Structure 1
Amino acid sequence: MRDLEKFIAGFSRFQENYCREDGLFQQLRESQHPSTLLIGCCDSRVDPALLTGSDPGELFVVRNIANIVPTCTPDAPPGVSSAIEFAVCSLQVERVIVLGHSRCGGIRALMDDVVVDAETDFVSRWMRFAARAKAQVRRELAHKTPQQQRRACEMANILCSLDNLLSYPWLRRRVEAQQLSLHGWYFDLEEGALLAYSPRQQAFLPLVCPLDRTVHIGHRG
C-alpha cells in the first residue's frame, strides 16, 4: 500500500505542476508534437523521460524488453511496428533514438538461453528478434568472458535495431531525404554515463562522461 500511496502523491505533484490553467497540458490537451521517437527497454531503471529530463510532449516513447526493433515484415509484431509508423508518418518526428543499457535482463536471457516458462516462453520468443546480435557476438568474441559478451551484445543489439528501422520503407525514405536522423545510445548503469554510436569511429563514444568520483583528501595542518 505504501507504493500506491507514493504513486498517488506523485500524481498530485504532477497535477500541481502541469495541469493548472497556465500549465503545460493546456497546450498539449488538443494534440502532441514530439520531436523525438525514443525506443527503449522496459527496465525500471531506465526511464527515458527521467534520464533525459524531458517534459510531457517532448518524447514519443516505445518500450519493450531489450529495446528491440523487429524487421519490417507482414508478420512483424504490430505493437512496436505500429508505434514506429505512427511516430514517423503521423507525428513526423525529426529523430529516432534507440536507447540500450548495461545489465539488460533481456540480453542476459538471450545470451544464457534462459527459458522462463516452457509453456508460454514469451521472453525467449521475443528475444529471437535479437538473434543476429547474439550470433555476431558469439562469432567474433568467443574468447571473451560471459560478462564481456553480454555487454557487447547489448551494444550490437542497438545497431541491429537501427539497421532494422531502415527496413521500413516510409522511414527509410525520410532518412534518405534527410528529414529524419537515427541515433544509437547506450546508458552505462555502472558508470552513470551515456554513450552514442559513431558510424565514423564504428564505436560507442561518450556523450556524457561518468561523474568524477575521486575523493580529494585535503592536507592536514
Structure 2
Amino acid sequence: MEFARPLPGFLVQRYHGWKATTHAENSAWYQRLATEGQRPRAMVISCCDSRVHVTSIFGADQGEFFIHRNIANLVPVYEPDGQHHGTSAAVEYAVMALKVAHLIVLGHSNCGGVQGCLDMCEGRAPELEETASFVGRWMDILRPGYETVKGHADMPHALEKEAVSVSLRNLMTFPFVKEAVESGRLSLHGLWVDIGEGGLHTLDGKTGIFAPV
C-alpha cells in the first residue's frame, strides 16, 4: 500500500505526550477497559465537525460514551435494504449489544452540513444536487425538515435544531429503538450546542422547543 504515509511528526509527538502523562497516570483504568470491555451509559450521535468535542462538553472519560459522528448528526429512516448503513449499524449495536440507557442526538451552531442542505434546498448549491454527491444525498435526509422550518426568521439555527428533531423521529422508525423506548429501557434526547457561547439547549418533547439547560 504505497499510498499509506508515515504519521505526521506533530501527531507522533502528541501521542508520546499522552502516553507518558494521561495514559501513565491512569494505566490501571485503561487495563480495566481493555479486559472488561465497554459499558457506556449513553450513545451520542454528533456532527463530524472538529469544533464539536462531545467528551469535553460533558467532562467524560474513556468508556462513558458510545459516540457516532456523521455530517450534520443525521439519522436516516429504518431501511434494511442490504446497502451499507454506518449510522444504522452504530445505532443497532448501541441499543441491542451495548444496551445503552440514553441515546442523544447533538446538533450545533454554524453547521456546514446543515448550511449545505439550506443552500441546496434554495437552489444555491447545484453541485450538491448531483447524483454522485455523497454529501448531497446524505443531506436529503434533512429535506423534510427544511420544509418544516422554511421561512423561519433565524433559518440556519432553526434548520440545525430541526436536524436534531428529524433524527429523533427517524430513530423511532427502527423497531428495536421503538420497543426499547416504549418499554422504558431507552430514552431519547435532543441537544443543540452554541459553539461560540458554549450554551447547551435541550429539546422539550412536548413543546418542540429547545431551551437552555
The secondary structure found in structure 1 opposite 2:28 is coil
Within 5 Å, give how 1:142-221 maps onto structure 2: 142=151, 144=153, 148-207=154-213
Over residues 149-182 of structure 1, what are the superposed CA-to-partner deviations in whole Å (9 max), with x where a residue is unaligned? 1110110110110111111111111111111111
Q: How far apart, in 2, do the equivalents of 1:175 and 1:190 lie?
A: 33
Q: What TM-score comes out, normalization by structure 1 length?
A: 0.83
Distance 1:199 1:98 in 2: 13
Tell me how far 1:132 sits from its aligned partner.
1.1
Q: CA deviation at 1:73?
A: 1.2
One-letter identity of the residue aligned with 1:134: Y
Moved more, 68-77 or 111-120: 111-120
The alignment covers a number of residue pairs equal to 199
How big is the shift at 1:20? 6.2
Distance 1:27 1:58 in 2: 13
2:29 to 24, 29, 33: 24
TM-score by length of 2: 0.86
What is the distance in 2 between the residues matched to 1:93 and 1:176? 15
| Cα contact 2:202–2:210 (8 A) shared by 1 | yes
Which of the pair has more CA radius of gyration?
1
* Distance in 2 of aligned mates of 1:60 and 1:83: 9
CA RMSD for the aligned pairs? 2.0
Q: 2:8 is paired with a residue of what secondary structure?
A: helix
Of all paired residues, the percent bearing the same amino acid is: 35
Gaps of 5+ in 1: 208-221
After TM superposition, give the deviation of residue 90 of structure 1 in Å: 0.2
| Alpha-carbon shift at residue 84 of structure 1 (Å) | 0.5
Partner of 1:6: 10
Runs of 4+ displaced beyond 6 Å:
none
